[in-house]
């Protein structure tokens, strides 16, 4: 099998190379997959399985502890915390996935152009990337979200733009590495055009670290969305978000600690699960493991 045919048939390599067996080799990776899948199912099915409305107040059930009627208790307005947790999972997962897709779209594009054409294109993209990376990720996201205005959509856009330089730098390095391979010279010798070269030969051979980084960045984006919602720059009330639930709970830590415990645990478990998945992907896509 030639190099060009390998690149054109990546799905066969995943099967022949035992990708899934390597991916699920570690029990921790399987745990991460199960947890993420469970959160996704709950988030998608929240409108049908949530026992109460996430926004309906009940003044006779204010700050009640966990009970048979309210499994995780109620908040300061008598709203069922379990129902708000289920609907809040939708905001966290949506923010994590969409913001990373935005970051990949921007970062991979500019990183590919910089690594492929080099010269002044590389110089401009690299200097801009370094300038953005010099600012802490969360500070950039907060500044952009404050500038764009408080909403979940603007928060996702802010997180995506703030995370884009990381993908840009990684894609640039991978592109430069791929461009030094012999099969690139062979493709050029037969007259392959730049666009086809990038899409057919460069991107498929440089994408593995990007996929791993995307999985890990989803975890970071979930924390960032919770932070923005905690500051009032993300999901807006009365719509539930784990970050805004923590913001409300900080005023009742002594009277109703369960208001902070459950969203905090959800953020911790989901972020841990995505990190475990990222570690499994890294091991599965590592050529030395094949």
Q: In this structure, is residue 182 part of a structural domain? A: yes
Using only C-alpha atoms, what is the Rg of the chain?
22
In a domain, 204, yes or no: yes
Whether 117 maps to a domain, the answer reads yes
In a domain, 3, yes or no: no
Q: Would you state the structure tokens that stand for residue 266, as one six-digit string?
A: 């959800």
Supply the range of the domain harboring residue 249.
18-55+74-289
Residue 199: the pLDDT is 87
Q: Is it the case that residue 2 has pLDDT exceeding 80?
A: no
Residues forming a β-bridge with 178: none
pLDDT value for 276: 92
The answer to which of 1-5, 121-125, 139-143, 227-231 has the lowest mean pLDDT is 1-5
Does residue 222 contact residue 92 with C-beta atoms inside 8 Å? yes
Per-residue pLDDT reduced to its tens digit, 72-102? 999 999 999 999 999 999 999 999 999 999 9
pLDDT grade, residue 16 (50/70/90)? very low
Of residues 40, 93, 25, the one with CA closest to residue 285: 25
pLDDT of residue 196: 87
- Asked if residue 65 belongs to a domain, the reply is no
Distance in Å from the first CA to the final CA of the chain: 17
- Per-residue pLDDT averaged across 189-198, rounded? 85
* 26 against 244, higher pLDDT: 244
Has residue 160 been placed in a domain?
yes
Residue 236 lies in a domain: yes
pLDDT at res. 238: 86
For the chain, the domain total comes to 1
Looking at residue 9, its pLDDT comes to: 41
Report the distance separating Cα 131 and Cα 219, nearest Å: 24
pLDDT at 171 over 80: yes
pLDDT above 90 for 266 = yes
What confidence tier does 103 reach under pLDDT thresholds 50, 70, 90?
very high
Count of CA atoms in the C-beta half-sphere (13 A) of 142? 12
Return the CATH number at 22.
Answer: 1.10.3720.10
pLDDT of 15 above 60: no
User: What is d(CA 276, CA 282) in angstroms, rounded to the nearest whole number?
Assistant: 10
State the average pLDDT for the chain: 88
Domain membership of residue 1 (yes or no) is: no
280 pLDDT exceeds 70?
yes
Other CB atoms within a 10 A radius of the CB of residue 263 amount to 29
């Amino acid at each position: 099998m030639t190099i060009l045919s390998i690149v054109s048939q990546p799905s066969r390599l995943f099967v022949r190379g035992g990708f899934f067996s390597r991916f699920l080799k570690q029990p921790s990776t399987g745990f991460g997959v199960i947890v993420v899948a469970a959160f996704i199912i709950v988030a998608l099915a929240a409108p049908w399985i949530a026992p109460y409305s996430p926004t309906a107040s009940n003044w006779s059930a204010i700050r009640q502890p966990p009970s048979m009627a309210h499994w995780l208790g109620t908040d300061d307005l008598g709203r069922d915390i379990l129902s708000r947790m289920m609907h809040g999972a939708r905001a966290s997962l949506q923010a994590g996935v969409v913001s990373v897709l935005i970051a990949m779209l921007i970062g991979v594009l500019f990183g590919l152009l910089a690594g492929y054409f080099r010269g002044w294109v590389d110089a401009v993209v690299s200097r801009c990337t370094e300038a953005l990376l010099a600012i802490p990720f969360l500070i950039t996201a907060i500044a952009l979200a404050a500038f764009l205005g408080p909403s979940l959509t603007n928060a996702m856009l802010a997180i995506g733009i703030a995370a884009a330089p990381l993908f840009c730098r990684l894609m640039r390095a991978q592109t430069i590495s791929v461009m030094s391979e012999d099969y690139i010279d062979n493709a050029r010798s037969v007259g392959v055009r730049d666009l086809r070269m990038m899409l057919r030969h460069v991107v498929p051979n440089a994408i593995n670290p990007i996929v791993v980084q995307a999985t890990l960045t989803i975890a970071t984006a979930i924390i960032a969305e919770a932070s923005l919602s905690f500051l009032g720059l993300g999901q807006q009330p009365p719509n539930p978000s784990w970050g805004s639930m923590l913001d409300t709970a900080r005023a009742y830590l002594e009277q109703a600690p369960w208001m902070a415990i459950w969203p905090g645990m959800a953020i911790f478990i989901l972020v841990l699960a995505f990190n475990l998945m990222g570690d499994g992907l890294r091991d599965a896509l590592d050529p030395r493991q094949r």
